[in-house]
Amino acid sequence: MLDEIVAAVRNCRTCAVLTGAGISAESGVPTFRGDEGLWKKFRAEELATMSAFISNPEIVWEWYNWRRQIISEVKPNPGHYALCDLEKRFESFSLITQNIDGLHQAAGSEDVIELHGNIYRNKCVDCDRQCDTETEIDPDNIPSCSECGGGIRPDVVWFGEMLDGRIISRAFEEANRAQLFFSIGTSAVVHPAASLPIAAKQSGATLFEINPEATPLTEIADHYVAARSGEFLPQLVARLNEVASPD
Ligand code: BJW
Ligand code: ZN
């Protein structure tokens, strides 16, 4: 499998990568689904929605405060760094992430397409204005927007909300022109992100999936690697370096 990916990397000029929560799992950031996916007794689908925020903003902010605390204490792992290395090997390379943790940027990836926002930003629920409020929000005293008085929420994309049009369009453009597409550490169930690898494949890309667990994407992937990204991606980079300098 490693050799097939090495050959594909060497033969392709354009590459796009979609990452999900799994790439940050080895840094210590909990994923959404599976055994670790519950916070208290809630699933992401019950917290990451506007209706949850309207009916119980305190619990939603408690969840984000908890995640902000974890994310502020963790570091990128070898999987994030390996993607920075991979980027240099293509004429065109796009890193598209569903994650809001900023760990790709912390590893040194410069042009990251963030589909679902960023956990460190806040915005107003009513006028959508981005707000420079403190990152630790008191759930019992949620600040309001200085322009319109609306409540402050995290600047992320919840279920039922449209993704930023320019961002998702750019992601599809990059997917459609990629000769090689990697889906890494995502359960591939949340759309439109999960449609990106499918679009890439339909446009002729070779599709690789890296995930210890199979997903709905596995059966259409050209190659499925059942491994942790923080272990497999550095091996890939090491093999690419060996091939580049055989002595
Ligand atoms: C490892 C590992 C290791 C572990 N190494 N791997 C088409 C069909 C059906 C439904 C829809 C559809 N189109 C739209 C919808 C509705 C909905 C949706 O997709 N629902 C499905 C769940 C059924 N989508 C939306 O609502 C989206 N908006 C939209 O479509 O707007 C248009 C519209 C508007 C109004 C009406 C109708 C349409 C918005 C989706 C927003 C998702 N937001 C969240 C929260 C973001 C903010 C936050 O973080 O708080 O995004 S939910 C959550 O899921 C988060 C994630 O980015 C996203 C994906 O999760 P991800 O990253 O895949 O994580 P996990 O936990 O699921 O998987 C981790 C994987 O890692 C696992 O597979 C592990 O095995 C693996 N792993 N360790 C590698 N070491
Ligand atoms: Zn406002």
Judged by DSSP in three states, 50 sits in: helix
Judged by DSSP in three states, 79 sits in: helix
Q: Which ligand is nearest to the CA of 188?
A: 1
Output phi, psi for 97, to 5 deg. -125, 145
The residue whose C-alpha atom lies closest to atom 39 belonging to ligand 1 is: 159
Cβ neighbors of 113 (< 8 A, separation 6 or more) are 94, 95, 96, 97, 167, 170, 171, 174
For ligand 1, residues with CB inside 6 Å are 20-22, 25-26, 31-34, 37, 44, 48, 98, 100, 116, 156-162, 185-187, 189-192, 211-213, 215, 228-230
Ordered per-residue pLDDT tens for the chain, 247 residues: 899 999 999 999 999 999 999 999 999 999 998 777 777 788 899 999 999 999 999 999 999 999 999 999 999 999 999 999 999 999 999 999 999 999 999 999 999 999 999 999 999 999 999 986 666 788 999 999 989 999 999 999 999 999 999 999 999 999 999 999 999 999 999 999 999 999 999 999 999 999 999 999 999 999 999 999 999 999 999 999 996 765 5
Out of 80, 104, 116, 223, which one is annotated catalytic? 116
Q: Which atom in ligand 1 lies closest to the alpha carbon of residue 190?
A: 19
CB neighbours of residue 207 within 10 Å: 20
With contact defined as beta carbons under 8 Å apart, do 123 and 130 qualify?
yes
Query: Does 223 participate in catalysis according to the annotation?
Result: no
Kindly report the pTM of this predicted structure.
0.96
Q: Which atom in ligand 1 lies closest to the alpha carbon of residue 67?
A: 50
The residue whose C-alpha atom lies closest to atom 47 belonging to ligand 1 is: 156
Give the C-alpha distances (Å, rounded to integers) separating 65 from 62, 69, 92, 136, 139.
Answer: 5, 6, 36, 6, 9
Q: Which atom in ligand 1 lies closest to the alpha carbon of residue 213?
A: 75
Query: Is the peptide bond prior to 192 cis by the omega test (within 30 degrees of 0)?
Result: yes
